[in-house]
Structures are given as structure tokens and as C-alpha cells.
């Protein structure tokens, strides 16, 4: 059975090193021991990564940029940097297009240029959409200035993967400071903050009316739906369309219509069942979050799923094939 994974990361040090230090300092996670330990795996595509895919039955990875990137750069410098990054990705996967696809890296500080770069990579390199890491300049994407990105994605019929990013300093200071050792830092990212913020980001795109404005746009979020499978009923009740909400559809309906989720980095069966019961099997796609999670652990989790053959085909490749037009 083909296995497609959608949240699999790369970082090219030779490009990251071109980011000015004052911008690079904003992305403190790049200096962490965890990132330094994984630096070689993040930079590699056709060596250890491909070998691990073969050993664990991963047919195709959809690659995306992790860490410091164009979203840290100003509107004048970001577009050229993003173009250079996307060109490098395309060059390195050109001889392995059956094994690797890619999401575009966008200069979100310049939304018009980001939309143009999305179109260029889709039409020139057959990239399958874009991945955006959290907030840009401490702003959520429901701000009207980011409309060109959504408009172009809808026109091109490609999804936007909404991935976690580092919290703004004010948020970190208010929520995650004054804790022992590295507890605050871990709590602000994979320990909790990343997931709650991405859920909030998704809900803002709904309650702001942004997804109503672009009803054909598709979003992808990872980590088994970033807490939304458990909380969507609660949010839907508070923002019911019969309670004077501004939306054309309920939160639940909008999530079903426009949001797809992946299993990336969350390898536990009870959350999967909740996701199936709430989002539905047609909106769930298997992913690993390589190299932050290993292919071995992800494969063991996949093999533990007690699903019908039809549902396994949907999660392993069928839903991704449809959404990303892989077949």
C-alpha cells in the first residue's frame, strides 16, 4: 500500500546562514540542542532520509521548510530569499519526483509577492501548495493584508498547510515565563503552545469570515487537528450561526468543508478515533513530522491502526492523492 506523508521537514543551512543576524535572532529555536542534533537530517533529502523511507515503506514525502526563513525578512528581501529556497528544493528533488513533492516556502511579509511565488512554484515546479509557519510579524493570517495568498491558492486549487510557529515575545512572557529550566520554552512549542495557537489561528480564519470569503480554499493542519477534534463542539456552540454569528456556516461545517488534518507527531490511537468521529475519515491524512519524529515510530503507529482496508487506503494515500492531485 502506498504511503504518503505531508509534514516532513527540511532546512538548508547554506540558505539559513544568509539571514541577517537581527532577523535570525527572532527564531531562537534554531539555536536549541534539538535542532542542532537534527541539522544533518534536516539538510539531507536523498541520503539517510530516502533510505529510511525505503526501510519503513514510505512512498512519498511532501517536503516543507522548517525553522528560520523568509517570514523573518522584510518585504524587500523576503521574496528573493524565498525564491532561492524554492529553487534549491526543486533542484534537489528533480531526479526523485516519484518520492518527493514539496510545499512552497513563502515570503509572507510581502503578501503579493508570496502569492506570486506560490503561483510560480506550482506552475514551474509542480509544488503542491504552501506551508506557512504560524504568525507573520505577530499577525494572524485573517488580517486583510494576507488576502492575496488565499486568493491565489484558491485560484490555483492548492492547499495551505498552517503549521505552528514560535509565539510572539509578549505571549511568551505572559504565558510561559518564570518556569524552571527549559520548561517554559518546551511548553511554548510542542509541549502545548504550538498546538493551541494553531487551533486558534484556524478558528480565527473561520470566525473572521475569511474561509467564507474563500470557500474553495483548503487548509491542512497537523498534530491530529491541533486540539480541534476535542474542542470543535464547544467552539461551535459558542459561535452558533443562530446566536448572531457573522459566519455563513457553523464552525463544524466549515471545518468539515475546508480543513484537513494530519497525524504528524501524534502517535496515539484514542486521539485518532476522536479525529475520525469529528473530522471524518475523508479529512485525515497520515504524516510523521520527520525528522522531529522518526519514520520507524510513525510506521509502527500506522501498523497499529485497527481500520478497514478502505479507511487505511484513505489515510495512507487516498485523501492526500485527492487533495494534492498526486494521481
Distance CA 102, CA 88 (A): 11
Distance CA 5, CA 59 (A): 8
Strands across the sheet containing 100-102:
4-10, 60-65, 100-102
Q: Quick one: CA dihedral 209, 215, 217, 223, positive or negative? A: positive
Q: Does residue 289 have an active-site annotation?
A: yes
Q: Which helix (H) or strand (E) holds 221?
A: strand 219-221
Strand partners, 220: 161, 260
> Nearest 5°: phi and psi at 139?
-115, 140
Nearest to 229 by CA among 262, 207, 265, 193: 262
Nearest to 108 by CA among 62, 66, 87, 139: 139
Looking at the chain, list the stretches that DSSP marks H as alpha helix, in order from N- to C-terminal side: 13-16, 21-24, 33-43, 48-55, 78-93, 111-125, 147-156, 169-175, 183-188, 193-207, 210-213, 228-238, 251-258, 269-278, 295-304, 309-313, 319-324
- Grid cell for residue 209: 469570515
Q: Which of 289, 303, 311, 321 is catalytic?
A: 289
Distance CA 318, CA 327 (A): 9
Distance CA 21, CA 86 (A): 22
- For residue 249, is it left (φ>0), alpha (ψ between -120 and 50) or beta? beta
Q: Do residues 19 and 74 lie in contact, with contact meaning Cβ atoms separated by under 8 Å?
A: no
Task: Kindly list the catalytic residues.
Answer: 289
Amino acid at each position: 500500500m502506498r504511503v504518503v506523508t505531508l509534514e516532513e521537514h527540511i532546512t538548508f543551512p547554506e540558505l539559513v546562514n544568509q539571514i541577517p543576524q537581527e532577523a535570525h535572532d527572532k527564531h531562537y529555536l534554531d539555536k536549541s540542542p534539538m535542532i542542532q542534533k537534527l541539522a544533518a537530517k534536516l539538510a539531507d533529502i536523498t541520503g539517510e532520509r530516502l533510505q529510511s523511507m525505503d526501510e519503513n515503506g514510505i512512498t512519498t514525502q511532501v517536503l516543507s521548510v522548517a525553522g528560520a526563513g523568509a517570514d523573518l525578512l522584510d518585504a524587500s528581501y523576503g521574496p528573493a530569499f524565498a525564491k532561492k529556497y524554492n529553487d534549491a528544493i526543486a533542484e534537489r528533488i528533480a531526479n526523485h519526483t516519484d518520492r518527493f513533492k514539496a510545499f512552497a516556502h513563502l515570503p509572507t511579509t510581502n503578501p503579493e509577492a508570496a502569492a506570486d511565488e506560490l503561483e510560480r512554484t506550482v506552475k514551474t515546479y509542480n509544488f503542491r501548495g504552501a506551508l506557512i509557519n504560524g504568525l507573520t510579524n505577530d499577525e494572524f493570517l485573517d488580517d486583510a493584508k494576507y488576502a492575496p495568498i488565499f486568493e491565489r491558492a484558491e485560484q490555483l486549487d492548492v492547499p495551505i498547510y498552517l503549521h505552528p510557529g514560535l509565539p510572539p515575545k509578549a505571549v511568551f512572557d505572559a504565558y510561559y515565563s518564570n518556569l524552571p529550566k527549559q520548561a517554559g520554552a518546551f511548553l511554548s512549542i510542542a509541549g502545548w503552545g504550538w498546538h493551541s495557537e494553531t487551533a486558534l489561528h484556524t478558528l480565527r480564519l473561520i470566525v473572521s469570515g475569511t474561509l467564507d470569503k474563500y470557500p474553495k480554499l483548503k487548509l491542512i493542519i497537523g498534530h491530529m487537528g491541533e486540539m480541534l477534534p476535542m474542542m470543535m463542539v464547544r467552539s461551535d456552540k459558542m459561535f452558533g450561526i443562530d446566536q448572531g454569528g457573522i459566519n455563513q456556516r457553523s464552525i463544524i461545517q466549515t471545518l468539515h468543508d475546508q480543513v484537513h488534518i494530519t497525524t504528524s507527531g501524534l502517535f496515539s490511537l484514542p486521539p485518532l478515533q476522536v479525529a475520525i468521529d469529528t473530522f471524518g475519515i475523508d479529512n485525515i491524512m497520515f504524516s510523521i513530522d520527520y525528522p522531529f519524529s522518526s519514520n520507524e515510530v510513525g510506521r509502527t503507529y500506522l501498523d497499529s491502526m485497527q481500520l478497514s482496508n478502505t479507511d487505511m487506503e484513505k489515510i495512507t494515500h487516498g485523501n492526500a492523492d485527492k487533495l494534492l492531485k498526486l494521481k
